[in-house]
Amino acid sequence: MSFISKITVALLGLASAVAAAPAGSCPATQQPPSKPACVPGTKIAIWQPEMWTIYPSNPTAQDSPVTGLNLVRHAEASINEALAVFTGIPKEAKTCTLGWGASVKGERTETFFVKDNGNTEWLQVPGKPPGKVTWNSVRPYVLNGGKSSGLDLTGGSDTDAAVAGIGCQLDCAETMYLYGIITDASAGSIFLDQDFQNGLNMQVTG
């Protein structure tokens, strides 16, 4: 079942099962916010995408951009979905791979919890609406999406150690737009404040 079909099924409140993308360890590197460089043969990570929370059950609801990742799914329907926008991807980037990470628990200053199902899927979409970002306005972009990547955050907030995961390669662009949901037909919730060592990241090689 395609990502688009899963979005539609979630909106109708039906259950659908999807396969999780591979997850594993990845370097907890970070890139300063000013003018990242991508030297050939090196790897950097772009952190802290701009986020919008999307509400399928309230398709005209709009929030201001936020820094935190906030996804919620009830067993029968997706409740909170998200649009993530990564900017500042070097134009010379050769590969762009979605990842996530959280620092050692004692060093975390950000809120991070995962309850039950933390399996997510992220669809690369061609842009975002020029005005209000709502379910209604973002849906045409989702319907024209391309590659997707899974990230499994299940149990990530239960450990005191630093945690990290890696997903799939996406199409590099100086600005990358990703639409995310909690997948699988089981309830779950994720909240993760993001900074330059916690949250979603884009791992880029030159």
Q: How far apart are CA 62 and CA 44, in angstroms?
A: 33
Give the pLDDT band (50/70/90) at residue 59: very high
Nearest C-alpha neighbor of 203 from the set 169, 175, 174: 169
Mean pLDDT of 172-180: 98
Q: What share of the chain is helix, strand, coil (3-state, %, to 5)?
A: 10, 40, 50
3-class secondary-structure state, position 70:
strand
Tens digits of residue pLDDT in 122-149: 999 999 999 999 999 999 999 999 999 9
Average pLDDT, the chain: 84
Tokens coding 87:
């900017």
Q: What pLDDT is attached to residue 65? A: 94
pTM: 0.82
Tens digits of residue pLDDT in 87-108: 999 999 999 999 999 999 888 7
